[in-house]
C-alpha cells in the first residue's frame, strides 16, 4: 500500500517536496484554505482545511490515515504539523518545543527563564496592548511580528496566508 504524506500549505515552495515524495513512492496530499494555490495542482489530493486549525488538520490526518505530515517553507503550519504528528505517534519534535521555538515572545521567555541574556522585550497580541507599555521601553525600539507567517518579502506573502 502506498504511504501518504500530508503537506501543509500550497505555495510554490512545496513543488520540490511533492516531486521528491512522488519519486519516493508517496501519495502527496496538500491542504490549506486557498484552493487556487499552485502546489494543489501537483499533489495527488487537496483538502480545503486551514493549516492553522490544529484540530481540523488532526481530524483530516486521522480520516486520511496519513503516514507523515510536514510543513515546508510555511511557518504557520510548523506548530500544527508537530501537534498532529505527536498525536498520531509519527516522527516529530515535541509539540511544546516547536510551539516555543516558533513564537519569538515564548522563546524569549524560555531563554530568560533559563538564565540566558536577552534584549528587553515583550510579546503582544495587538498594538493597543503594546502602547500601554510604551514607558517601559528605552527608546528607540524595534518592533517585529511574533511570527513571520512565512513572509519572504514578496508581495503575495502579505496577502496569502495558508
Residue boundaries of the structural domains of the chain: 4-99, 104-149
Residue 62, CB-side half-sphere exposure with 13 Å CA sphere = 11
Q: What is the distance, to the nearest Å, from the Cα of residue 148 to the centroid of all Cα atoms in its chain?
A: 10
For residue 106, count CB atoms less than 10 angstroms from its CB and return exposed for 0-12, middle for 13-18, buried for 19 or more: middle
Question: Is 6:74 a contact under the CB 8 Å cutoff?
Answer: no
pLDDT in tens, 27-84: 999 999 999 999 999 999 999 999 999 999 999 999 999 999 999 999 889 999 999 9
pLDDT in tens, 72-96: 999 889 999 999 999 999 999 999 9
Identify the pLDDT of residue 121.
83
- Tell me the average pLDDT of the chain: 89
Q: Among 2.40.10.10, 3.40.640.10, 3.40.50.20, 3.90.1150.10, name the CATH number for the domain at 4-99.
A: 3.40.50.20
Amino acid at each position: 500500500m502506498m504511504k501518504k504524506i500530508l503537506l501543509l500549505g500550497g505555495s510554490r515552495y512545496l513543488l520540490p517536496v511533492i516531486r521528491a515524495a512522488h519519486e519516493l513512492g508517496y501519495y502527496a496530499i496538500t491542504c490549506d484554505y486557498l484552493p487556487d494555490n499552485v502546489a494543489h495542482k501537483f499533489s495527488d489530493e487537496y483538502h480545503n482545511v486551514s493549516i492553522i486549525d490544529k484540530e481540523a488538520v488532526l481530524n483530516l490526518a486521522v480520516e486520511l490515515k496519513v503516514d507523515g505530515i510536514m510543513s515546508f517553507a510555511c511557518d504557520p503550519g510548523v506548530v500544527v504539523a508537530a501537534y498532529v504528528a505527536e498525536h498520531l505517534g509519527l516522527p516529530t519534535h515535541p509539540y511544546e518545543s516547536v510551539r516555543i521555538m516558533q513564537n519569538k515572545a515564548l522563546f524569549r521567555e524560555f531563554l530568560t527563564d533559563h538564565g540566558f541574556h536577552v534584549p528587553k522585550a515583550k510579546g503582544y497580541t495587538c498594538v493597543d496592548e503594546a502602547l500601554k507599555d510604551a514607558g517601559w521601553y528605552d527608546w528607540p525600539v524595534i518592533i517585529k511580528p511574533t511570527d513571520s507567517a512565512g513572509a519572504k518579502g514578496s508581495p503575495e506573502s502579505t496577502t496569502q496566508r495558508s
